[in-house]
Amino acid sequence: MDGGVHGGGILALLDALDNDPALRQALSYDLIGLGLRLGQAGTSTLSWRDVYIIVAQAPRDSAVVRHLAPEAREWGISEQLQASIVDLLAGISWQLGGGKGKRPEPIPRPGVDSADTTPAPASSNKETAAADTRDPWDKDGTGGTFRGVATPLDELNEWLGWANTTDDTSQPTTPADTASRDERIVAAYTAGGVTYTQLATEFSVSASTIGRIVRAARTT
């Protein structure tokens, strides 16, 4: 044997080869693919350090990995990502369809236990079924639609200064009445000593309406 047979890694490999015939066979297969033979181990052609490196750096599709870690061989990062994308798209499609039918099951992953299929008590099965069909984005049961509180149109118009608000809505306001009122508002404000708020109270309109009337008078 080569004088480089030392260190815990190489000694552990030698011990595994002595006690695991299947590992010896797998390693022999990989070495043949490299143009080598296990019988050459420990010679100048193939030192035990070389054998250790070949085993330690074996690719996922190698016979050694298939024997030592079959689940790791089956799925790599690429396969995991692809499965995650498929699961995500399936969930989105199920939600867009209104959650009808059975919720899609995730793609089984190697080395990951599947969901517990032990039947639950009858009382909890109904609760579970209801929870499974509920859209996670629709916790309040509104169908996923945002429902706000509508602002009354008259309040919106008053806030924008587009309408005149009076306490007495029983009598329609004519253009002549509006013009007369506006003239009195402008006159009162021009005389000074009053604010928009005070005039709004006096003429039963909003302060924004007073401001609009005064500004309009200044531009004419």
> What DSSP line would sit under 170-190, residue for residue?
SSPPPHHHHHHHHHHHHHHHH
CA dist 76 and 199 (Å) reads: 77
Q: What is the model's pLDDT at position 25?
A: 93
Residue 206 belongs to a domain: yes
- 68 and 103 both lie in a single domain: no
Residue 201 belongs to a domain: yes
> Residue 103 sits in which domain range?
75-107
| Chain mean pLDDT for the chain | 75
Q: Give the length of the chain.
A: 220
- 41 and 31 both lie in a single domain: yes
Residue 30 burial (C-beta neighbours within 10 Å; 0-12, 13-18, 19+): buried
Tell me if residue 140 falls in helix, strand or coil: coil
Which residue in this structure is represented by tokens 């070389």? 50
Among 107, 126, 150, residue at a domain's last position: 107
Q: How far is CA 75 from CA 16, 57, 79, 144, in A?
A: 25, 17, 6, 37
Q: What is the model's pLDDT at position 31?
A: 95
- 46 and 87 both lie in a single domain: no
Kindly report the three-state secondary structure assignment for every residue of 58-108: CCCCCHHHHHHCHHHHHCCHHHHHHHHHHHHHHHHHHHHCCCCCCCCCCCC
- 62 and 15 both lie in a single domain: yes
Residue 164 belongs to a domain: no
CA dist 208 and 83 (Å) reads: 60
Residue 134 belongs to a domain: no
Among 51-60, 77-86, 156-165, which stretch is predicted with the lowest mean pLDDT? 156-165
pTM of the entire predicted model: 0.36
Residue 190 belongs to a domain: yes
Per-residue pLDDT, averaged over 22-41, amounts to 93
Q: Give the confidence band of 2 by pLDDT, cuts at 50, 70, 90.
A: very low
- 54 and 91 both lie in a single domain: no
Instruction: Specify whether the CB–CB gap between 185 and 202 falls below 8 A.
Output: no
Model confidence over 64-103: pLDDT tens digits? 888 887 766 566 667 777 778 888 888 888 888 777 778 8
Among 65, 91, 107, residue at a domain's last position: 107
- 61 and 100 both lie in a single domain: no
Among 27, 50, 73, residue at a domain's last position: 73
- 39 and 84 both lie in a single domain: no
Give the number of domains in the chain. Answer: 3
CA dist 74 and 80 (Å) reads: 10
- 14 and 31 both lie in a single domain: yes
Q: Give the confidence band of 208 by pLDDT, cuts at 50, 70, 90.
A: confident
Residue 19 belongs to a domain: yes
Q: Give the confidence band of 153 by pLDDT, cuts at 50, 70, 90.
A: low
- 52 and 81 both lie in a single domain: no
CA dist 204 and 168 (Å) reads: 9
- 87 and 60 both lie in a single domain: no
- Asked if the model's pLDDT at residue 204 lies above 70, the reply is yes
- 60 and 17 both lie in a single domain: yes
CA dist 93 and 101 (Å) reads: 12
Residue 63 belongs to a domain: yes
Per-residue pLDDT, averaged over 25-33, amounts to 93
Instruction: Specify whether the CB–CB gap between 182 and 217 falls below 8 A.
Output: yes
Residue 148 belongs to a domain: no
Instruction: Specify whether the CB–CB gap between 23 and 67 falls below 8 A.
Output: yes
